Amino acid sequence: MSAAPATATVAATALAVVDPRLVFLLRASTKFTLVEAALQDADEAIDDLEHALHMLRPCTCEREMVERWERWDRERYCRRRR
């Protein structure tokens, strides 16, 4: 019975270490294989990869918005703890 939690912990740790850039490259390779085998349209594959690339490197305005939010949240949290 104790094997399942250990396996889940190992899987969670392995997922936490994976470089998202390598995941994108693997996804691109898979999309190429699907297009080459005529199992997916090239336009659909590109659209999927554009979305994945956007998630990997969001535009500057989104990064700035997230940074402002994180900074505001940290400042609020620090004020609350004083």
Q: 36 vs 23, 29, 52, CA distance in Å? A: 20, 10, 20
Q: Give the pLDDT confidence score for residue 45 in this predicted structure.
A: 93
pLDDT at 6 over 70: no
Q: Give the pLDDT confidence score for residue 3 in this predicted structure.
A: 54
Q: Is residue 42 part of a domain?
A: yes
* Separation between Cα atoms, residue 30 and residue 44, nearest integer Å: 13
Q: Is residue 14 part of a domain?
A: no
Tell me the residue range of the domain where 44 lies: 19-81
Q: Is residue 43 part of a domain?
A: yes
Q: Is residue 8 part of a domain?
A: no
pLDDT at 2 over 60: no
Q: Is residue 36 part of a domain?
A: yes
Q: Is 0.85 surpassed by the pTM of this model?
A: no
Q: What is the mean pLDDT of residues 16-21?
A: 79
- In the chain, the number of structural domains is 1
Span 40-72, pLDDT tens digits: 999 999 998 988 887 777 666 766 777 777 777
